[in-house]
Structure 1
Amino acid sequence: MNRFINKYLILNADDLGYNAAQNSAITELYRTGEISSVSALTVTPYSDAGARIACEEKMSVGVHFALTSDEECARWHSVSGAASLEDEKGLYSDGVKLALSAKRKDVRKELQAQYAYLTSRGIKPDYADSHCGTLYGINGRRFYKDAFSFCSDYGIPFRFPKSPEFIVRQIGRSSRIINSLHAHIVKLAEKYGVILIDDLISNPWRTGAEEALRDYYISAIKELRPGITEIFLHPALPIANMTPEWQKRVCEYEILKSGILRKTAEECGVEIIRRGEIKALIAK
């Protein structure tokens, strides 16, 4: 049961370390206070640059566990070299291949290596989350158990919502199977002693134009319930030959840059917090 009276909001930027355009956008938004926390990738050619930025800016950083590549033509590489997670080109870009190939011991090895990648660069992650949801069980594998075991060992929260409404918002429907899996994951986190947030918000794929996207986030903030909620976005600067997905990242950058999300939160009495504050709030 949610025991909070107040409303707390984390404005998080995912994918620090994705590329230079992402790194620049996130740096700017963190400096101006339009985002409160970031999730850092460790498997890309730009991860070192992202880690340096995080250190220099003293960012509230979460480790953005990635077990797959985003593009087949430009594969990322595991930190641990775990054989079952990749082939000679790097991490699989196909989640199905990962699900069929991955060994749980290699998943745990890679989580450890990605966390160590950040700590070796002077960053102590205050959170963990999952790039593309590969640790959420949506691929039929119970990698969330490995994530919870890891987070329990290191005493850090994991980004997964207690509320099943995140699923409904993202895919537009619910079902007994989905609700049952969600309840199982939440209960397992409790068993491992891993802190979860109350709700999680991001843009559904069906949300397109910048105006619609802005209105979606504004409405979400106005409708927040008491507790700790995270909105995660993927802000980035424009690049050459932008795909619709990248155009959406640029839209999110423009929305955050405008200050409208922070302003809406303030007007609604919502306190914006860093991820690193979660444990203290829970302990009160």
Structure 2
Amino acid sequence: MTGKYLVINCDDFGQSPAMNAAIMHLLEEGLVSSATIMAPAPAFREAAEWCRKREQPNIGLHLTLTSEFEALRFPSLTGGASLHDDSGHMYRTVEEFERGADTADVMRELTAQYEAVRASGVQITHADNHMGSLYGMATGRSHIPHVLRWCARRSLPFRLFRKVDPADPLLGPMPGVERAAAKASALAGVLGVALPDYLLSHPFEKRDGETYESFKQMLIDKLYRLPFGICETYIHPGVDDPWMRRAIPHWEKRVWEFRLMMDDDFRYAIRDAGVTVVDYRFIRKHGRESRLRAGARLAASALRR
């Protein structure tokens, strides 16, 4: 694919009223591609009802197995014993989840979250994963093969990636990430699961000395360096309100992400850099790999063990 295509997804829809307000505004104004909704989170009902009334066409499922904020803890939908810490809530960290969660409990929970969103009247366009808990990035214990089969049965594209941008601050430095991505994306191809080519990240905490202007310039620079193919980046926008200031660490970065999507400089840079903003309907159409080619890649990766 010779063009530069970008999905801008809002994660954490349904996490809190502050997140909902920001994401609803961005979706209403067409300033982002999509959002992914958290079925176990406290503000899920508000988000789902808004989507249902508007027949919102670009809502995915944010598969949620962790509950990271001290002021915003919640349990799973299924009550699986291996999905909770001693407080009765989902684990706070990815490492705790990877060490404690039983695969059967995980898959029951993913299905319950899918059914809860469907029952609310929201049509699900794709799936991704809160905090990357399913990827095995903390201990190497990955649930990705099971999740890809789960997505294939539901014809859901999934947030994964075929290639790694060396400049990506999260994925680029990870040892072995390219080999892991190649194997996982080959399995997705065999199963017929559509994927983006690249996943682009940025630090979600406010760094020392960082300002809104420096943050904006960093993301604008990324637009001009965007690789050819289908890329996805994700944000966690929130409005500035007293509750979020008290409850959410690095809340200011979320307010910046909300502000950035409405910033004329950012909108101009998208056009000037020749980037086409698309959603997961585009990935569903163009993000599948030939099963024959994917099978050959999967076999080759098995032989390299």
- Relative to the length of structure 1, the TM-score reads 0.90
C-alpha separation between the residues in 2 aligned to 1:189 and 1:147?
10
Structure 1 residue 267 displacement after superposition: 2.2
Pair 1:43 & 2:45 matched: no
1:165-201 CA-partner distances (Å, limit 9, x unpaired) = 27842266243x3333233222222233221101122
What residue identity is the alignment partner of 1:232? Y
Structure 1 residue 212 displacement after superposition: 1.8
C-alpha separation between the residues in 2 aligned to 1:201 and 1:74?
27
Distance 1:31 1:74, change over 3 A: closer
Whether contact under 8 Å (1:38, 1:59) holds in the other structure is: no
1:162 is matched with 162
C-alpha separation between the residues in 2 aligned to 1:167 and 1:185?
21
Gaps of 5+ in 2: 290-305
1:122 is matched with 121
Whether contact under 8 Å (1:166, 1:199) holds in the other structure is: no
Whether contact under 8 Å (1:197, 1:230) holds in the other structure is: yes
Runs of 4+ in 1 over 6 A off after TM superposition: none
C-alpha separation between the residues in 2 aligned to 1:248 and 1:66?
21
2:226 is matched with 224
Pair 1:27 & 2:24 matched: yes
Q: What CA RMSD, in Å, does the superposition of the two structures yield over aligned residues? A: 2.2
Is the partner of 1:9 in helix, strand or coil? strand
Q: Which of the numbers 7, 11, 15 marks the counterpart of 2:8? A: 11
Distance 1:90 1:174, change over 3 A: closer
Pair 1:85 & 2:83 matched: yes
Q: Which of the numbers 53, 56, 65 marks the counterpart of 2:53? A: 56
What residue identity is the alignment partner of 1:222? Y
Is the partner of 1:214 in helix, strand or coil? helix
Aligned pair count reads 280
1:145 is matched with 145
What residue identity is the alignment partner of 1:230? E
Task: Say which is worse superposed, 199-208 or 155-164, in terms of deviation.
Answer: 199-208
C-alpha separation between the residues in 2 aligned to 1:158 and 1:68?
19
Whether contact under 8 Å (1:170, 1:205) holds in the other structure is: no
Is the partner of 1:200 in helix, strand or coil? strand
Is the partner of 2:262 in helix, strand or coil? helix
What residue identity is the alignment partner of 1:90? H
1:69-124 CA-partner distances (Å, limit 9, x unpaired) = 01244321212222210145221213333222211111111111111111101112
Pair 1:134 & 2:139 matched: no
Structure 1 residue 228 displacement after superposition: 1.0
Pair 1:173 & 2:193 matched: no
2:274 is matched with 269
C-alpha separation between the residues in 2 aligned to 1:18 and 1:260?
29
What residue identity is the alignment partner of 1:231? T
C-alpha separation between the residues in 1 aligned to 2:195 and 2:167?
15
Gaps of 5+ in 1: none
Identical positions, percent:
29
1:255 is matched with 260
Structure 1 residue 272 displacement after superposition: 1.3
Q: Which of the numbers 60, 66, 69 marks the counterpart of 1:68? A: 66
- Relative to the length of structure 2, the TM-score reads 0.85
What residue identity is the alignment partner of 1:272? V
C-alpha separation between the residues in 1 aligned to 2:71 and 2:137?
24
Pair 1:112 & 2:78 matched: no
What residue identity is the alignment partner of 2:59? V
What residue identity is the alignment partner of 2:145? K
Whether contact under 8 Å (1:39, 1:63) holds in the other structure is: yes
Structure 1 residue 210 displacement after superposition: 1.4
